[in-house]
Amino acid sequence: MKNYLSILFMLMIISCAKQPVQPVLVDEATFKKEHDGKTIELFTLKNTNGMVAQITNYGGKIINLWTPDKNGDFADIVAGYNTPDEYLNTSEIYYGTLIGRYGNRIAKGQFTLNDTVYTLATNNFPNHLHGGVKGFNNVVWDAKKIDDQTLELTYLSVDGEEGYPGNLNVRVVYTLTNDNELKTEYWATTDKSTPVNLTQHSFFNLKGAGNGDVNEHVMQIMADNYTPVDSTLIPTGEIAPVDGTPFDFRTPVAIGERLNSDHIQMKYGGGYDHNWVLNKAESGLNYAAKVVEPTSGRIMEVYTNEPGIQFYGGNFMTGKDVGKGKTYAYRGAFCLETQHFPDSPNKPEFPSTILNPGQEYYSICIYKFGVEK
């Protein structure tokens, strides 16, 4: 009897022990909705370590991304929503989304290519932003789930869409690897010369989406230079050293440490909303950035073949938006968008973003996750 009570007591202790927090997923069946003659759907990717990403074909948006902390507790680390209706009606249209045909800004919604002037929407007045009013974030992509860890999305952006020339065939593949990487690969071809600059716009908070601001996250960006902007956030054309400025993240610094700097570039962006010129790797992909969240121990690293990365610190988040039952704070997330430089079609001194017939566009961004013990 005594042994029986001892065993029972031990079982009670084990049952009362804290169990790791596990991912809570959105039901794929309830996420379906008809929009623009196509069906919005949800797809779930899982790796062998328990990481989960749920991605919709509406804008290729990552609606949640579950990663473990140093204690093995999972949290959803991207801002977003749990229903299609919320995505269709939100004022924050870029949560977790694919961006195209041109990520970032084009000055005054205009560029000249092969002696033809093209006029685009000035949806971020006075400039064009992220592909226009109906950018790639606002369309329903054709989707094919390749396997449990891979999703393929395709879209034909027709000649003249949002003012851009050429029929652009785009393919994007998301892969959730067993190395805890969320890999995004982009391919595109065109039948007419056109600017192309595709990126991914997830809003990250490594404490968990909706858990306060990200000012204590420690950021490192592997860049000796950045591209200063004017008061409308268009690059001046200068490639400027980060040394001695609030833009020097070559050694790890808390995001919030220099937000109150009186540097004119910080005033223009209301904080960080700038492009860094990445140090080029001798071989392979550029190691672009590393972010550490001290409390959870979560780490995020960024690798890319792109020459630049946009670090956005959530300066335009209102602090009122609600998603997944939580309120997203002012500066409640950061974005690290791998890219060519803003306004490159109007800046011949910048790396070219022009894709010509017979060429294939290819870009890759890897977000790799881990923990500091």
Q: Which residues are catalytic?
A: 201, 337
Q: Which among 238, 241, 274 has a CA at the least distance from the CA of 105?
A: 274
Token pair for 286: 């550029």
The continuous run of DSSP H or E covering 16 comes out as helix 2-16
88 backbone φψ class: left, alpha, beta (φ>0; ψ -120 to 50): alpha
Q: What residues contact residue 34 under an 8 Å CB cut-off, 6+ apart?
A: 40
Positive or negative: CA dihedral 241, 244, 246, 252: positive
| Pairing relationship of beta strands 62-68 and 273-277 according to DSSP bridges | unpaired
In Å, what is the CA distance from 92 to each residue of 12, 123, 309, 337? 47, 13, 21, 16
Report the chain's C-alpha Rg in angstroms: 22
Q: Which among 250, 222, 226 has a CA at the least distance from the CA of 240?
A: 226
Q: Which among 42, 33, 89 has a CA at the least distance from the CA of 62?
A: 42
CA distance 17 to 3: 21
CA distance 135 to 124: 13
CA angle 364, 309, 161 (to 5 degrees): 70
DSSP annotation of 278 reads: P
Question: Do residues 323 and 79 lie in contact, with contact meaning Cβ atoms separated by under 8 Å?
Answer: yes
Token pair for 290: 């590393």
Burial class of residue 261 in the structure, from the number of CB atoms within 10 Å of its CB (0-12 exposed, 13-18 middle, 19+ buried): middle
CA 195 to chain centre: 20
Q: Which among 135, 155, 145, 129 has a CA at the least distance from the CA of 38?
A: 155
Give the three-state DSSP class for 285: coil
